[in-house]
């Protein structure tokens, strides 16, 4: 990423302080988001999200997992056994722009994939919702039971991959939106299991090519990153504005207005009152973003079908 001179930095900070950023946006305004679904035909679901010059692609691949015994984690929740049948691996492949060459790209990729994984799946213990400064699981993401084929034997594994085509700041938000769009585009093939097999044999499965089950993605959260520059914070920072950040807080919120995860980066400490302020701003912004994103996804899917 190209450095900026003192004069340009001063100009950017002045803009943020006066609520008029370099491209005329207000502090809490997003760039226009455009969504395309079904960009990768071989994947079960895929989406491409553009926010200004930031361009990301997310794809979802499903695979049947016959060794459920090995991967299942029994989580008791309200007297129901849910097998976490999802293995989320979001691996960010290195983008080709200059700032990501060498070590920087790998570190950023690792950071983003961990943040996304925690946002959608979370740690192993999904019980107490303690607000720690770590991306966190609240079970509000995907309905995991929809991925079970045969209880305790066969389940679907989801592999979610993200690719940054070009970066102009705000990668985490764009990736979160892309994953949400890709999951709503995902079709899990219908599986017919041959009945009457004994417990230790592998059942025969017939994976249908025609019928697909859609996910219910209304519950998937959307990530909103608030970047603090000087005294004010902005949403959807471009890479020039991000170079000025003192700290950035990313909050994932879902449609009900619940916070599903939170993470902070940047070396400067924040006063707790500022964090609460940021959370309420993020909730307010995330409502608009969720509505916008849902309508974009719906129109993208309609376009794809037509």
Partner 1 sequence: MEKEIRGIQLPLSQTQKVRLKKALELLQSLSLKVNVDASVVVADTITVDHEDGVLKGHGTADLNGEVVATICGVVERVNKLVYVRALRSRYKPEVGDIVIGRVVEVAQKRWRLEINYCQDAVLMLSSMNMPDGVQRRRTAVDELNMRCIFEENDVVCAEVRGFQHDGLHLQARSRKYGKLTRGQLLTVSPYLVKRQKQHFHHLEEFGIDLILGCNGFIWVGEHIEATDDMVEDQVNQSDPQVLLPGKNSVSLEEQEKSYTTLETRKYICRAANAIRVLSTLGFNITLEIIKGIIDLSLSMNLDIHDMLGSEFCVLVAEKEAERRSSNKKKR
Query: Contact region for partner 1 (CB under 8 A) — 6-14, 56-64, 155-163, 176-184?
Result: 6-14
Is residue 41 part of the contact set for partner 1 (CB under 8 A)?
Answer: no
Q: Does 300 bind partner 1 (CB under 8 A)?
A: yes
- Residue 195 is a binding residue for partner 1 (CB under 8 A): no
Q: Indicate the residue among 70 and 268 with the shorter CB distance to partner 1.
A: 268
Stretch that binds partner 1, among 5-13, 78-86, 167-175, 263-271 (CB under 8 A): 5-13
Q: Please identify which residue in 1, 29, 165, 274 interacts with partner 1, judged by CB under 8 A.
A: 29
* Interface pick for partner 1 out of 27, 28, 36, 153 (rule CB under 8 A): 36
User: With respect to partner 1, which residue has the nearer C-beta, 250 or 294?
Assistant: 294
Binding mask 225-244 toward partner 1 (x if CB under 8 A, else -) reads -----xx-------------
How far from chain centre, in Å, is Cα 94?
17
Sign of CA dihedral 229, 258, 217, 204: positive
Residues near partner 1 (CB under 8 A), total: 32
Shortest Cβ distance from residue 304 to partner 1 (Å)?
10
Binding segment for partner 1 (CB under 8 A), chosen from 12-20, 99-107, 177-185, 273-281, is 12-20
Residues that bind partner 1 (CB under 8 A): 2-8, 10-15, 17-18, 20-26, 29, 32, 34, 36, 50, 230-231, 299-300, 303
């Amino acid at each position: 990423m190209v450095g900026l001179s003192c004069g340009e930095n001063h100009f950017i900070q002045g803009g943020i302080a006066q609520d008029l950023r370099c491209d005329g946006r207000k502090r809490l305004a997003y760039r226009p988001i455009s969504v395309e679904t079904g960009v990768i035909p071989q994947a079960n679901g895929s989406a491409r999200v553009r926010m200004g010059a930031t361009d990301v692609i997310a794809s979802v691949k499903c695979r049947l997992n016959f060794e459920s015994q090995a991967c299942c984690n029994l989580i008791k929740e309200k007297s129901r056994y849910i097998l976490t049948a999802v293995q989320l691996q979001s691996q960010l492949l290195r983008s080709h722009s200059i700032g990501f060459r060498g070590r920087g790209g790998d570190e950023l990729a690792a950071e983003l994939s961990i943040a996304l994984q925690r946002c959608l799946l979370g740690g192993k213990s999904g019980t107490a919702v303690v607000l720690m400064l770590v991306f966190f699981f609240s079970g509000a993401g995907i309905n995991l039971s929809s991925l079970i084929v045969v209880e305790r034997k066969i389940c679907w594994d989801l592999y979610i991959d993200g690719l940054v085509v070009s970066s102009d700041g705000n990668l985490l938000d764009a990736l979160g939106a892309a994953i949400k769009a890709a999951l709503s585009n995902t079709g899990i093939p219908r599986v017919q299991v041959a009945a009457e097999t004994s417990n230790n044999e592998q059942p025969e499965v017939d994976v249908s090519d025609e019928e697909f089950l859609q996910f219910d993605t209304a519950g998937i959260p959307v990530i909103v990153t608030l970047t603090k520059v000087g005294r004010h914070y902005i949403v959807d920072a471009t890479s020039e504005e991000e170079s000025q950040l003192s700290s950035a807080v990313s909050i994932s919120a879902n449609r009900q207005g619940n916070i599903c995860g939170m993470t902070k980066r940047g070396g400067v400490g924040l006063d707790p009152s500022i964090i609460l302020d940021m959370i309420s701003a993020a909730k307010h912004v995330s409502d608009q973003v969720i509505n916008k994103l849902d309508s974009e996804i719906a129109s993208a899917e309609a376009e794809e079908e037509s």
